[in-house]
Chain A
Amino acid sequence: MGSLEKFNLIDEPWIPVLKGGRVVEVGIGEALLRAHEFARIETPSPLEEAVLHRLLLAVLHRALSGPRCPEDVLDWWRKGGFPQDPIRDYLNRFRDRFFLFHPEAPFLQVADLPEENPLPWSKLLPELASGNNPTLFDHTTEENLPKATYAQAARALLVHQAFAPGGLLRRYGVGSAKDAPVARPALFLPTGQNLLETLLLNLVPYTPEDDAPIWEVPPLRLGDLEGARTKWPLTGRTRVYTWPARGVRLLDEGDGVRFMGYGPGVEPLEATHRDPMVAQRLDAKGNLLVLRLSEERSFWRDFSAMLPRQGGKVAATLEHAENLQGELEDEGLEGRITLRVLGQVSDQAKVLDIRREVYPLPSGLLTPKAEENLEKALKMAEELGQGLKHLAQEVAKAVVGERDRGHGRSPYLEELTKLANSLPLERLYWHALDGAFPRFFARVEEEASLDLWREALRGAALEAWKATRRFLGTGARHLKALAQGEQEFGRLLGELGEEVRT
């Protein structure tokens, strides 16, 4: 199997972009040199979206040795493109390091990783998890493993190196592996009208010294990685963007990939590093605190954790995008920006959920008025949510009937909790709000936005309650429980109404 040098990521098509309403795949070179022609990177996977941007940004930072300051970015914005020659020269210089298959230096892989004991390629994707991970999204199993195209495999490789959660490894002298660089945090990706703008919005000023992406350092060998021998401080913009979290070697089957050699990667050493896409702040001792996504709740419910007034954490990309937007508006140029929050929710080694939330970024996002409205809105939503949770418990109680509670984890209480949790009330409510929040957020500065939000809350609660009625059915006990619940539900909506008047 395998051939010598194959599938160069600079030229071969593998990055899905939207062009004229159609998805086409392009290589790194085309993506950068013709970025203005593409609306955006278009992929169903939020993680792919994040890593593909990070890869392109890493190439840009190195090829352009910058931007040194925001004015460099503005120049490129005004000119409508990146300087082409430095990018071409740079890609030519490191062309040999971008082959997906290569006898000495396969891209972001380890050339001499043995083929024995291979893993299915789908292990690379958290959403195509197999083995002891819960199969959340897909039921692909090892028996009917489909072959990945080279493009698919390349994207999966990038995703894995950036997002693999730490956990048991037990290979080549390494018992357990550490988290990949962005396995936990929420990533903030402001996006513009086309790929060029998006890249510029995320091209946060950069100092090229003391940093090198994976293709600028000598290729790693198994001997470097065995027993976690190689440790790098987790710092340096492009080093982190192209971090080899695991040793991987994709095994070429001539027309695709099914298996890979797998082992330890470079172990990260804790370091003071600001990842531009991650919202961080400094604690009193000079350590960085990171904003993560949480399992139970959509990101928007924690939105206020980003607000400066609350000692919040802000991503440099967001700050950079806001500065650019301001400057462009001063010049009469329009910079319409959307904010995408990407990432995965994980519990130790388990990936629980993959997220992509999209918000319009109104200019002046963080005005006090907007903050105040946002805080109010979030509070209202949480309060009603709490009310519904309580309601679900009450309904469950009425269905099961009052009984002696017993002590501790009594079977009775467990039954109650189980029933309450199975009711669609809370879940549907939040689900509906996930859709409504961006609409509210687009108008968050306006006085009317809170009324809009109240309507959304009311609608979401009503839908959820209707679904709960249907769910419970029409048994006598159920009807009685629902009748009692109806009163409580009316009270909850009433409270919402009162707030409208105040």
Chain B
Amino acid sequence: MIDWIAYAWLIPVFPFLAFVLIGLLPKRTLGWEDGGGYAVAGAAGALVLSMLVIWDVLNGQTLTHDAPRSTWLIIGDFRIEFGIWVDQLTAVMLVVISVVGTLVVIYSGGYMHEEGVGRRRYYAEIMLFISVMYGLVIADNYLQMFIFWELVGLCSYLLIGFWYEKPSAASAAKRAFIVTRVGDIMLMAGLIILFKYVGTLDFAVLFGQGAGSIVSRGEIPQDMLTLATALIFGGAIGKSAQFPLHEWLPDAMEGPTTVSALIHAATMVKAGVYLTARTYPLLVQTPESLLFVAIIGGVTALIAATCALAANDIKRVLAYSTVSQLGYMILALGAGGYLVIHAHEAGGYAAAMFHLMNHGFFKALLFLCAGSVIHSVGTNDMRSMGGLRGKMPITSITMLIGSVAIAGIPPLSGFWSKDEVLAAVYEGGEFDPVFFALWAMGVATAFLTAFYMFRMWFMTFAGAPRSEVHAHESPKIMTVPLMILAGLALVSGFALFVGEGFMGFIERSIEDLPVTPLHESLTDIAVRIFTDPLTYVSLVLAVAGILLAYRVYYLPGFDRSVFAVGVRGKLQRALENRWYISQFYDDFAVKVWYGFALVADWFDIYVIDGIVNGFAYLGANMGATIRKAQSGNVQRYASLIILGIVVLLVFILYVLPWGGW
């Protein structure tokens, strides 16, 4: 019996090798799809190994405090070592990354077929992307994680800007990198604070609890720890596109749709949630930061859901829905922390990770379906789609499954996790009433989610075609991954009821925190869910959202021009302009900084360099003036010599003796 978990460090190596091979091999040896074969092999290798590792974790093994480590840097008294850390949380991330990653790569074989020579770059970058994301989730200290964190940002930059000749793509890529970098700065500052006080960034040391916690050991003052955790969460705000740094994600639609699927479902934005979950042992020591986390999550969920209402780009709708769902996860993490502190329950934490996994599947499904539609229709604009149901049966049905799942209709996956999230938030209200307000926002978001998802589905697939495009179903290489993902979206919610249950599994990753294991049997969970009236509140609202979308966007006879006038018109325009947040960044923040830069440049040229040149000018001018004395007139020289002698004589003979010499 091989101890697979000890080989977890090999997981990122497979895709990395594929990246190197695709990047360096001569063109004619690349084979299928210009490197697609290597990419599939790399992704599949990582998938297989991930599954083996997950199997070990399911059997109760973890690799945390005692993993072998290698030294990265010795500086002064500090020794920075890198190693691996595999626990239940890592396992959940591995599931999402490996499954979604592999399916996306296979799907790319069809989607990117027309790309030609660009495919080599595409596959290389995708492999690097998957590789560094694996690296991020198996890191055993914050610095190692930060390194991969930044590399994830780099890969998303490269892939969002894949079609670099499009100015909008180049601009969106840059924006994604810079906005997430603002978050990264906060993360970096948080890590520096921890490093200064504790002297290491290893999880094993930082995550001590109770008497072993870094505060109890007197290594860091409480207020500094609060600042540090808030700043670390700042990194998640940038990466997971939380308010107010969320606008980069909808713009990141400029990349190929497969890239969007990867970013939204498995890699980039999930890193922020993962970071917040990973930081839990520290966050539960700082309730102020937890409240901050929860509020950011709740606000993001609602704002993003409203923005999705008026979007006409199919990918933009999905992008805002991602932001909104990420808000759910963050909200659940914030509320879950309160539960851990006050009730010693891991419900919120588990709900967030459960939602992360389910969301990974159905969001990948939705994006790949949207990709299939775009591939066939050739546009992103839903106003020129419609009536595609008959022409693209597989895509339309799988997308319907995805939409139902995200809307939260039982028994699909979204229902279970969203319900757990909202239940945890409501429960948090016992300890701080602000969670009731956040719960209300969450429920409103659930209603809006159902509405905009079905608005999208009806506009795309139902009704009569609105343009002359000759649509057709996508090839098998694209539809098979869709069907697999649709199957996962159907059943992944039942992970609640398999084996020890998802909740029981994931909560073992934070069992060091004072968490009482849920002594619920699996049937208890089902009973709890279906006897709670709150479940029905969100369920009814979700159904109402679907029905409203059905009325407005499917049934004939509804005059949508009412949205264009009066207060409603203003609201509509605000939504279409995404609450003007984007404009704020473009018109204000960017211009202010650029203005500073222009002022600094002016100052440099005319003031600092002006002074330098002024000295030079002064010197040159003095020279020019004095040299006029050199007139070339010998008689004047002679006169001056004689005058000089006379003056000197007078000085020596009369002035010096008079002065006492």
Same complex: no
Interface residues of B (CB under 8 A from A): none
